[in-house]
Amino acid sequence: MAVLSDPDRVALWAKLMQDASASRTPLPLLKAELRAAVDAADAWADANAAAYNTALPLPARTALTTKQKALLLMYVIERRWEVSP
Amino acid sequence: MTTTRADLQPLSANPIGTNFPQILKLASDRYALAFDAATDEACAWQFKAWQGLTLPLTAIITVSMVSATTGTTGWQVQIEAVTPGDALNTTTTSSFDTVNNSASTTVPGAVGNTQDISITLTNNDSIAVGDLCRLRLNRDADGSAITDSVMGDVYVLGVELQDAA
C-alpha cells in the first residue's frame, strides 16, 4: 500500500483533533506539529510494510491479501490501544 | 468612551453557509459554539442598528480552548447592513462587507480559561441607524488570512458589540 494521499492525511488529522476535542483532552501541541506526526506515522507504516509482511508466518503471508494483512495489523493495534492503561 | 450595544449569545446564533459551529451545552451548564480546528465554520447574529450609533464598532469575542494549551487563534468578523429600501433580495442574497481580521492571538495556558479577542470593525458596510444588520463570525481555521495554530475546537461563549458613544 502506498502512503496516504494529502486529503486522506488531512481527514485523519482533522479526526484526531475532533477526537481530542470530544474527549476534552488537554494537548500541548500545535496543528502543524500534529500534522507532522500524522505524516510521519503514515510514512513509517509505508516504509515498514515489507518488514511486517516478512514477519507474518506462512501460510498467512501468502494466503492473505494486502487488505486482509492491513486489517490484521489494524485489529492488533486497536486491541493494544484498548487494553493499554 | 465605549458603550455595549449588543450581547450576542450562542443560542441566538444563526448557521451561515454549509459549515457552522456546533452548539453545545457544557458540563458547567453554559452554552458554547464549538469552532472546528481544520475547517472554517461561521455563524451570524441579526440585529437592528440602534439609535445613537457611533462608529467605530468593536466586536469582543469571548473564547476558551477545548484541548489546546499552546498556539494562537485567528478570527474574522463581517458586517452586513441593509438600509430599508435597499435593492437587495434578502430572501436569496447576502451582502457582507469585507472581512475584519483579528490579530493572531496566543491562547491561555489552561483549557477552559476564558480570553477576550477584540476586533475593530473598520469594514462596517456603512452601517447606519435603523439598518437591518448581521454580524458574521468565523474562525480562520485554515489559516488563509491569520495564523491559527491551536489544535482542537475553540468554544465561543459570547460576543459583545460595542460602539464609540
CA dihedral over A21, A25, A30, A31, signed as positive or negative: negative
Look up residue A77 and give its amino acid. I
Three-class SS of B45-71: EEEECCCCCCCCEEEEEEEEECCECCC
**Through-space distance between the first and last CA atoms of chain B, rounded to whole angstroms:** 6
- Which of B102, B93, B90, B88 has the alpha carbon at shortest distance from B137? B102
pLDDT in tens, B69-97: 999 999 999 999 999 999 999 999 999 99
Give the Cα separation of B84 and B88 in Å (integer): 10
Structure ipTM: 0.77
Best A17, A18, A30 residue to mutate vs chain B (most B CBs within 10 Å): A17
**Residue A21: phi, psi to the nearest 5?**
-70, -40
Residues of A in contact with B71 (CB under 8 A): 30-31
The cell for B1 is 468612551
On whether any CB of chain A is under 8 Å from the CB of B63, the answer is no
Task: Report whether the peptide linkage leading into residue B21 is cis, meaning its omega lies within 30 degrees of zero.
Answer: no
Length of chain B: 165
Give the Cα separation of B165 and B161 in Å (integer): 12
How close, in Å, is residue B117 to chain A by CA atoms? 20
pLDDT in tens, B61-76: 999 999 999 999 999 9
Q: Provide the 3-class DSSP secondary structure of residue B131.
A: coil
Lowest mean pLDDT among A18-22, A51-55, B129-133, B160-164: A18-22
In this predicted structure, the answer to whether residue B162 has a pLDDT above a threshold of 90 is: yes
- Which stretches does DSSP call E strand in A1-85? none
Give the Cα separation of B43 and B22 in Å (integer): 10
Q: What are the angstrom distances between the C-alpha of B35 and each of A34, A48, B71, B152?
A: 18, 37, 16, 9
**Which residues of chain A from 17 to 76 reach within 8 Å of chain B, CB to CB?**
17-18, 20-21, 23-34
* Residue B1 pLDDT level (bands cut at 50, 70, 90): confident
| Pick from A10, A17, A23: CB nearest B151 | A17
pLDDT in tens, A5-24: 999 999 999 999 999 888 88
- Which of B99, B94, B24, B92 has the alpha carbon at shortest distance from B64? B24
pTM of the model: 0.88
**Which residues of chain B from 11 to 50 reach within 8 Å of chain A, CB to CB?**
34, 36-39
